[in-house]
Amino acid sequence: MRETFELMVPTLLGLESFTAREVRNLGYETTAVEDGRVSFTGDWEAVCLANLWIRTGERVLIKVSEFHAETFEELFQGVYNAGLAHFIPADAAFPVKGYSLRSKLSSVPDCQAIIKKAAAKSLCEKYGVSWMEESGAVYQLQFSIMKDKVTLSIDTTGTPLHKRGYRAVSNAAPLRETIASAMVMMSRWKYENPLADPFCGSGTIPIEAAMIKRNIAPGLHRHFASERFFQTGKKLWEDMREEAVWEERDVPLEILASDRDPACVELTSQNAAKAGLGKWIKPTIADARDFSSSIPGGTIITNPPYGERMGEKKECEALYKAIGRRFSALEDWAYVILTSRRNFEKLFDREASKRRKIYNGMLRCDVYQYFPNKGKTAGHK
């Protein structure tokens, strides 16, 4: 019988339901869906699958222990008794990082030092040594302390999941890949119809859309911390990657990526080529205010400028009014638009079919979903 344990996938606020759905699609039942985190029970194969396939989460953590601590002694004892040797081998490196919010133990550096000391003592005693050499694979210890509740985990991912590897360079305000994937998922886009992003920037939305519709595993062309874990081994990772390659679907795609900035168009072209999707994504220089298509039933998924800087507000408002007029002329098209502007519907002159709150880092944004014949003009709510 395979060993199972609790796995946690941290997410950006607002993306939890998408990550939970992805976990279930992999064949695992979620045990908790909380603000910024999805939990499920899995094994070492689940570690590989989750890292390879989850598009909307930030990393995959093994939950080692959870306990209450208001003092450094309680923190020390909780870590010391956590059973770390069950996961961490004798030669492993185990650096510590984490955060503390609304807790009595508010000094993160002090918490790191205590956790490191307690982990070292526990592991040394388990392996019968006076000190840990830490010359092997890195088993990153992560801790969170929230309202005096300590959660101790091991990071199996390393570089965050949203860094797929295709975007070596980005524009000044890149959209995180996890948000782009969620926007595609909520768009109801059918691959046989065209998809357009008239503010393509560095190409994140078109690339994520192509990867989803062709069923390309987002982690296929990058590496993970747990590839060096003795529990997974080289063979398991090779098998999971080989299976992922066979899962790719050969479907036709028409993806229209455009931007009025030539530098962004070139960047999108480079990133699409690096992702192996240059055949389907051929960006062009064009102004979103001039966007048109004679093909009905397409979908626009885009992240226009927010106008957050001084002096850009009026220009941004004029832009939203212009694209509202332009997009409404498209026959039976759907639109999914991300912005931090709270008065977007008024400027766009159409009430959204659905609206979803998402935090892009610390910035509160909304995704406005417009489906054919569902929206109304903003003046007729």
pLDDT, one tens digit per residue, over 292-310 is: 999 999 999 999 998 766 5
Which two structure tokens, joined as six digits, stand for 271?
Answer: 């990133």
Average pLDDT over residues 266-290: 95
How far is 66 from 340, CA to CA, in rounded Å? Answer: 36
**For residue 381, is pLDDT > 60?**
no
If you average pLDDT over every residue of the chain, what do you get?
93
pLDDT at 379: 44
pLDDT at 2: 77
Task: For residue 358, name the pLDDT band (cuts at 50, 70, 90).
Answer: very high
Average pLDDT over residues 169-180: 79
Q: Point out which residues pair with 48 in neighbouring strands.
A: none
pLDDT at 272: 95
**For residue 199, is pLDDT > 90?**
yes
H-only helix segments in the chain: 16-25, 44-53, 72-80, 108-127, 177-187, 204-213, 233-247, 262-274, 313-328, 344-348
Contact indicator for 185, 212 with CB cutoff of 8 Å: yes
How far is 306 from 34, CA to CA, in rounded Å? Answer: 29
How far is 167 from 221, CA to CA, in rounded Å? Answer: 12
pLDDT at 126: 96
Give pTM, 2 decimals: 0.92
Task: For residue 167, name the pLDDT band (cuts at 50, 70, 90).
Answer: confident
Q: How many residues does the chain have?
A: 381
Q: What is the DSSP letter of 131?
A: S
DSSP 224-235: -GGGG-TTTHHH
pLDDT at 311: 58
Task: For residue 233, name the pLDDT band (cuts at 50, 70, 90).
Answer: confident
Q: What is the pLDDT of residues 83-100, one digit of tens each?
A: 999 999 999 999 999 999
